A = this chain, B = another copy of it.
Amino acid sequence: MNSSLPRPAVRLRAAGVAVALLLAATAARAAPATGDAPHKPLTTAEVLAASAPSDWRALDAQNTLYLELSSGRVVIELAPLFAPNHAANIAALARARYFDGLAIVRSQDNYVVQWADPAEDKKRPVGSGRRALAAEFERPLRGLAMTKLADQDTYAPEVGFVDGLPVAADPQLGRAWLVHCYGMVGAGRDNDVDSGGGTELYAVIGQAPRHLDRNVTLVGRVVSGMQLLSVLPRGTGALGFYEHAEQRVPIKSVSMAADVPLAQRTELEVLRTDTPTFQAYVEARRSRHEEWFKVPAGHVDVCNVPIPVRPRSGAVAAR
């Protein structure tokens, strides 16, 4: 019984992107659509295979950032619904070429990677952008169409999703805020809450550091290329900072997707989170019905629901 590889810990689970890209290639011969077997619980792969084109939305190039490393492109979707001033400022900084030639200066295991201006004087021009902004830690709950999770969250009264982003809310306070899940991007700050703004950004590369929620402005989410950040050598200095300049990872450029020629864009679609298909996907994550699973959890954490992403065309992706 040990003779077959692959023999993974979880044979049938794959990260969102991998599933989606795979499905794009195999949808035609995938599992039956929901209607064919209404009483059989679906797997996540079956839910996605049965999805309609309208279950997906294309990334908006005016709201998408490309972080270019020598190893490839990290695609970040900004979150203007939660951090409008930071999103606009980061776009302005990108258009001022503020980030080009900066570096990833920190990689702390099970926590964050962070990129910034490594120069002591921090005099780099910011164009029409600003070096600091008032914090955008939370916003009114009113006006948000939140797809709520049924499960109890350890940290917040309610959790769910808005436009593909993990969100927490307190209905009594009428407030909502983004959640520090894997792949979320935030704006580093000093002790002054209004000292951030987007000139330094970090991405979560480990267990969700939920204690950061409402303490720092989250500005968006990595939708593609996380593995380019998560594998970076950990810094050996305090807090994972690289101790020597040559250890830093150069940033070739950061651009708004809209400013990149069409042929050079990464055209992606993200599974919408306000649809019955997404509800079915969450249910399939909550209770796994693949043969490998013996005890479905019956619950799911807001940070354990990777949002599927696929090439916009639905065509076979070279992987």
Contact = CB atoms under 8 A, between A and B. Distances in A.
Nearest to A124: B2
Contacts of A182: 110, 206-207
Interface string A215-252: 11000000000110011111010111100000000000
16 contacts: A1-B132, A3-B122, A4-B190, A6-B238, A7-B195, A10-B112, A15-B110, A18-B108, A18-B238, A155-B297, A182-B207, A191-B291, A210-B299, A210-B301, A230-B230, A231-B232
A120 B106 CA distance: 40
B239 A6 contact: yes
A75 B227 CA distance: 24
Interface of A: 1-11, 13-15, 18, 22, 105-106, 108-112, 114, 116, 118, 120-122, 131-132, 137, 151-155, 181-183, 186, 188-193, 195, 199-200, 202, 206-216, 226-227, 230-234, 236, 238-241, 285, 288, 291-297, 299-301, 303-304, 306, 319
- Dominant secondary structure at the A interface: loop
**Listed residue (A2, A207, A295) with the most chain B CB atoms within 10 angstroms of its CB:** A2
Contacts of A155: 297, 299, 301
Contact of A11 (B13, B193, B230, B239): B239
